[in-house]
């Protein structure tokens, strides 16, 4: 907003500079190989002098650095390409799930520079205590980031539940959270990150949404539209359509875990019956495999299930087959509705994908009208089990790349 006493020309100058910074930085971020200043002038339509001035600002603000020059045949000094800086601002990603806490730091180029996963059953833990533990882990991540020359510029927190615009966790049924004011509880602690104008200190979002965004931006160009399913104790999905997350009217989309697969089936924590979670959630698989919780604690269940399946344990193989069939029924419904050709199995489903994919594909073949001539790919996530924390941190750095002016203003 323009201050009342500022001349209009100054505002236009400031806005133009902001736009040019974002334009050039965005080109550097999207380039296949480090572009030179001349490449950037050609790609953006800006003059070489403008590009040089913008690049100087980005170098001074530690947003980009000069790549080592590629050896070039013939005479002349090779032009130096520009890359996103590996020492500078970074994003802090946090996740609270039913059976673990995860913290990670992602740099501007999307590289994970710090990762901590603390396994614990968080259902009996008071939300304020769980958040206090997360703050402690975040403090260690911040110190580790500082040692690597990184400054945490903002944080995002993934939770397995419904989150409103103000960061209030309306309902996280598997954690037993209802109306938990996460930002207010975290405000009782020291700030997690530096203050950067234009970058929210903390964004709280649904873990399936953040994991889907992490997959979308995970490097190699993948499909612009896909369904990403996070299989934990609960099951959530992120729906990506044409390169953007589909959040629904109130931000509550993707509750695939509560699609009914047996309408008169088992009662669910949501109040409904026969929900997918009751047949393909982590606890349902463990129970179907005949493995008591005491024998197979929730915090190691996925890894153990994969080991037993690998070893040919018939009860585990049957349980995974049945879970995959239930998952396939729900997925086929989504594919019929949205006409998607890619389904990504993430979170705790990723290590179980070798056993879940075949029955999911069988249900798609049997139930999706277009499957015969338009095949659907079902594959594990490339981000591993902590996809939501990585996606959360990535959402912070993408915000800085899209609007670098706030970070540069902080640098003076």
Decide: is 62 part of the binding site for Zn ion (CB under 5 A): no
Stretch that binds Zn ion, among 59-67, 113-121, 264-272, 320-328 (CB under 5 A): 264-272
CB-based contacts of 90, cutoff 8 Å, min separation 6 = 105, 106, 107, 108, 113, 145, 150, 151, 152, 153, 393, 396, 397
Decide: is 275 part of the binding site for Zn ion (CB under 5 A): yes
Nearest to Zn ion of 115, 258 (CB atom): 258
Nearest to Zn ion of 28, 330 (CB atom): 330
Nearest to Zn ion of 259, 385 (CB atom): 259
CA distance 160 to 205: 9
Cβ atoms of 97 and 173 within 8 Å: the answer is: no
CB of 283 to Zn ion, least distance (A): 13
Q: Where on the phi/psi map is residue 251: left (φ > 0), alpha (ψ -120 to 50), or beta?
A: left
Decide: is 268 part of the binding site for Zn ion (CB under 5 A): yes
Stretch that binds Zn ion, among 85-93, 103-111, 250-258, 285-293 (CB under 5 A): 250-258
Greatest distance between any 2 Cα atoms in the chain? 78
Cβ atoms of 57 and 79 within 8 Å: the answer is: no
Q: What are phi and psi of 170, to 5 degrees?
A: -65, -45
Cβ atoms of 156 and 202 within 8 Å: the answer is: yes
CB of 259 to Zn ion, least distance (A): 9
CB of 184 to Zn ion, least distance (A): 28
Cβ atoms of 144 and 106 within 8 Å: the answer is: no
Nearest to Zn ion of 262, 398 (CB atom): 262
Nearest to Zn ion of 130, 275 (CB atom): 275
Q: Which two tokens stand for residue 263?
A: 């309408």
Nearest to Zn ion of 55, 169 (CB atom): 169
CB of 254 to Zn ion, least distance (A): 14
Helix axes 8-30, 37-44, angle to 10 degrees: 110
CA distance 226 to 239: 6
Cβ atoms of 286 and 305 within 8 Å: the answer is: yes
Decide: is 272 part of the binding site for Zn ion (CB under 5 A): yes
Nearest to Zn ion of 139, 272 (CB atom): 272
Decide: is 274 part of the binding site for Zn ion (CB under 5 A): no
Closest CA to 117 of 94, 148, 92: 94
Stretch that binds Zn ion, among 15-23, 207-215, 272-280, 357-365 (CB under 5 A): 272-280
Decide: is 168 part of the binding site for Zn ion (CB under 5 A): no
Burial group, residue 294, by CB count within 10 angstroms (0-12, 13-18, 19+): exposed
CB of 80 to Zn ion, least distance (A): 56
Nearest to Zn ion of 92, 329 (CB atom): 329
Stretch that binds Zn ion, among 11-19, 26-34, 152-160, 275-283 (CB under 5 A): 275-283
Total binding residues for Zn ion by CB under 5 A?
A: 5
Decide: is 258 part of the binding site for Zn ion (CB under 5 A): yes
Q: Which two tokens stand for residue 75?
A: 């005479």
The residue within the footprint of Zn ion, chosen from 31, 43, 270, 362 (CB under 5 A), is 270
Decide: is 59 part of the binding site for Zn ion (CB under 5 A): no
Nearest to Zn ion of 200, 272 (CB atom): 272
User: Which residues of the shown chain bind Zn ion in the complex (CB under 5 A)?
Assistant: 258, 268, 270, 272, 275
């Amino acid at each position: 907003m323009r201050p009342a006493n500022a001349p209009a020309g100054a505002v236009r100058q400031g806005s133009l500079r902001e736009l040019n910074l974002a334009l050039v930085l965005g080109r550097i971020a999207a380039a296949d190989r480090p572009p030179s200043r001349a490449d950037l002038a050609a790609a953006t339509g800006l003059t070489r002098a403008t590009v040089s001035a913008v690049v100087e600002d980005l170098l001074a603000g530690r947003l980009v650095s000069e790549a080592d020059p590629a050896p070039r045949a013939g005479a002349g000094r090779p032009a130096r390409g520009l890359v996103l800086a590996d020492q500078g601002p970074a994003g802090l990603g946090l996740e609270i799930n039913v059976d673990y806490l995860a913290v990670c730091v992602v740099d501007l180029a999307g590289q994970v520079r710090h990762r901590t996963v603390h396994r614990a059953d968080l259902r009996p833990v008071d939300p304020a205590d769980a958040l206090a533990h997360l703050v402690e882990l975040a403090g260690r991540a911040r110190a580790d980031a500082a040692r690597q020359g990184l400054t945490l510029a903002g944080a995002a927190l993934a939770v397995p539940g419904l989150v409103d615009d103000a960061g209030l966790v309306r309902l996280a049924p598997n954690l037993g959270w209802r109306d938990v004011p996460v930002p207010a509880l975290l405000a009782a602690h020291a700030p997690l990150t530096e203050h950067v104008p234009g970058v929210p200190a903390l964004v709280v979002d649904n873990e399936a949404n953040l994991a889907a965004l992490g997959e979308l931006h995970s490097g190699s160009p993948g499909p612009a539209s896909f369904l990403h399913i996070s299989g934990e104790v609960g099951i959530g999905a992120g729906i990506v359509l044409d390169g953007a997350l589909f959040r629904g009217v109130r931000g509550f989309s993707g509750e695939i875990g509560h699609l009914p697969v047996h309408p008169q089936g088992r009662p669910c924590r949501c109040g409904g019956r026969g929900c997918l979670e009751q047949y393909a959630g982590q606890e349902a698989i463990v129970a179907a495999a005949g493995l008591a919780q005491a024998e197979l604690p929730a915090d190691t269940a996925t890894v153990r299930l994969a080991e037993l399946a690998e070893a040919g344990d018939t009860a585990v193989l049957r349980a995974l087959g049945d879970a995959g069939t239930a998952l396939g029924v729900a997925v086929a419904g989504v594919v019929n509705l949205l006409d998607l050709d890619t389904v990504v199995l993430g979170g705790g489903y990723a290590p179980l994908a070798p056993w879940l994919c075949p029955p999911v594909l069988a249900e798609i073949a049997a139930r999706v009208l277009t499957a015969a001539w338009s095949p659907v790919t079902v594959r594990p996530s490339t981000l591993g089990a902590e996809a939501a924390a990585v996606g959360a941190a990535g959402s912070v750095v993408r915000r800085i790349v899209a609007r670098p002016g706030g970070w540069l203003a902080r640098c003076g």
